[in-house]
A and B are shown apart, each in its own frame.
Chain A
Amino acid sequence: MIDLKVEIRNILVIVELEVRRLRHDYTDIAVRAVQPIVWLLVFGTVFSSRGIIPTGGDYTYLQFVAPGILAQAVLFVAIFFGIMLVWDRDSGNLAKLLVAPASRYSLVLGKCFSASVRAIAQAVVVLSLIAIFGIFIPDMALKQNPLYIVLTIPVVILIAAVAASISILFATIFRTRERVMGFGQLLTLPLFFTSSALYPITMMPWYLQWLAKINPLTYGVDLLRGLMVTGDLSGAPVDLAVLLGYLLVLSAACAALFKRMME
């Protein structure tokens, strides 16, 4: 009954909708670019100069933390994406999608990858900033070849889709902007701080390490760090499997609960 070609086409149409929305209004991207700059130039520089955090390799802390900042920028874009869905529900946009002959699953995945569209825009900004600042601050310059840097884009897509699926799950359960916003706020910092974005997991006490292991962001950062800094991709198969697993399970849950949005 489920025609894979049709479902993929539906996902792409919903993504196209987001691309067109973005093309008409860039302010969101511009505003969101400020935060990563602060993290890189202020937080990164301070922690780098004092040598507080061992990076566990032949690279500076600024280089170590750059993938973490990228992951964070992606997380912040996507974790509030459920609010857009509530907004779409309150206007008639969601009803329009729901009466179309598309499975709930492809609608959810379409919305997840719509978050990825915004995340890619964000990633391009952050990577450009790193490249530009890297010229003036050699500590920041990444050591990888450009091809690896390009491969960060599919990883960014995946991280954003996972984060968006969490947010959409909140939206299907709580159904108001305020609550989705609140739960997004509640989750962002724990997700960020219990991942390997700012420091190696080995620095954490055992119970935090345990949290880090179930935190999808850890696996995303690991992939990004391998591609951008260390070149070590030995953990990539596990990282990808965990992220894809999260996406499939969460989006299936969203699809099952999706009709609640209209009730």
Chain B
Amino acid sequence: MPPAIVVKDLKKRYGKSVLAVDGVSFDIEEGEVFGLLGPNGAGKTTIVKVLTTLLSITDGKVSILGNERPKRDYEIRNCIGYVPQDVSSDSALTGYENLIISAKLYGKNGREAKAVSEDVLKQLGLWDAKDRIVKTYSGGMIRKLEVGQAMVHDPKILFLDEPSIGLDPVARKQVWESIKELKERTKLTVVLTTHYMEEADHLCDRIAIMSIGKIATVGTPAALKASVGMGSIVLEVKGTPPEIPGARMENGSIVIPAAEPSKELPKMVQLLTAAGCEVLSAKARETTLEDAFVKYAGTKIEEMDQWSAVRKTRRTAGRLA
């Protein structure tokens, strides 16, 4: 089966100076959840806007389900759904009305639009709120409604730009569950951008780590973590510990490399106790996606945010709160 999305040497320049995407290539297979992970301003949103036909291409090739941009933009639009980072539901309308308008935009007549809107409302658990103005919705409800609006025409690919930005942890989990449930039910291909490690780890089959307009690496969360190396066990000990291969001292603690830190921790504690040491504290440190990010992007994600992008993100967060 050919890939759902093929991107080759994509470049996108805004105006004359800003090169937002600088020669990016990747394939996305049908049915997978593909994540673009990077700090604000890394070019994730720009890539999504290029893939959804909203932005023109400066250089390179983009093909969606065999349709090349920009020649077949119209065909592409017919088979994709898109939830922008900004709040895209009309806040002056009810949830039900938003769905009706979306359905009609995709060619459904009045009766079909009504049927599909009611289905979506029930599936997303928004039925009781359907006649309320969207302004009165919580952030999580709005995001769910937006996903629903993007799905009225049964698209083959769903694009989600920062789906859980500005949401509280509970609402974030709910949105994740909605996306997972949707994917399982429809065999949908999902492309999402995020700067939350946990979100990428939890939702994505494969992740592209982005930094300043480039993709540093692509891989499954497990492979990315494994490529960083082993996790470790950190112990605070009173007494003289026995010789342990690979162990080193760090700030007064013993750090022992381990492939599966949580599983090996009890054994290690036993070993030390048997050797006559008193174990004061013990911690298993698993490799995280964050470690992989630091390895490939060179810095921590929070240290790379660009001011303009942060401002935009905060604004969206403010509107969803």
Contact = CB atoms under 8 A, between A and B. Distances in A.
Contact of A99 (B54, B107, B133): B54
A101 B78 CA distance: 6
Nearest to B316: A92
Interface string B72-107: 001001101010111110111100010001101111
Nearest to A96: B88
Contacts of B77: 99-101
B107 A17 contact: no
Contacts of A20: 93, 97, 101
Chain B CB within 10 Å — which of A10, A17, A101, A102 has the most? A101
Contacts of B63: none
Interface residues of B, number: 31
A38 interface: no
B82 A95 contact: yes
B105 A21 contact: no
Given A96-B84, A262-B55, A17 B90 contact: yes
B49 interface: yes
A92 B55 CA distance: 14
A10 B105 contact: yes
Interface string B101-126: 11011110000000000000000000
B88 A92 contact: yes
A232 interface: no
B164 interface: no
Interface in A72-120: 90-93, 95-103
A209 B91 CA distance: 46
Contact of B56 (A10, A16, A259): A259
Contacts, number: 73
A100 B78 CA distance: 7
Contacts of A97: 105
Interface residues of A, number: 26
Contacts of B149: 96
A99 B80 contact: yes
Interface in B235-261: none
A7 to B, nearest CB: 12
A92 B86 contact: yes
A25 interface: yes
A262 B49 contact: yes
A50 interface: no
A133 B55 CA distance: 53
A111 to B, nearest CB: 13
Nearest to B15: A263
A259 B69 CA distance: 14
Contacts of A262: 49, 54-55
Contacts of A263: 14, 55-56
Contacts of A99: 52-54, 77, 80, 82
Contacts of A101: 74, 77-78, 106-107
A21 B90 contact: yes
A24 B86 contact: no
A25 B92 contact: yes
Contact of A91 (B53, B88, B106, B107): B88
A259 B92 CA distance: 25
B105 A102 contact: yes
A99 B101 CA distance: 14
Interface string B179-206: 0000000000000000000000000000
Contacts of A91: 86-88, 91, 319
A20 B87 CA distance: 18
A6 interface: yes
A92 B87 contact: yes
Interface in A1-38: 6, 9-10, 13, 16-17, 20-21, 24-25
B105 A13 contact: yes
B191 to A, nearest CB: 13
B85 A92 contact: yes
Nearest to B135: A24
Contacts of A6: 107
Contacts of B54: 95, 98-99, 262
Can you list the 3 inter-chain pairs with the closest CB atoms, starting with the nearest? Answer: A92-B88, A92-B86, A92-B84
Given A92-B88, A96-B84, 18 more contacts: A9-B104, A9-B107, A17-B93, A20-B93, A24-B133, A90-B86, A91-B319, A95-B54, A95-B88, A97-B105, A98-B53, A98-B54, A99-B54, A99-B80, A100-B105, A103-B74, A259-B56, A263-B56
18 contacts: A10-B105, A16-B101, A17-B101, A20-B93, A21-B92, A91-B88, A93-B90, A95-B49, A96-B82, A96-B102, A97-B105, A99-B80, A100-B105, A101-B74, A103-B74, A262-B49, A263-B14, A263-B55
Interface of B: 14, 49, 52-56, 74, 77-78, 80, 82, 84-88, 90-93, 97, 101-102, 104-107, 133, 149, 319
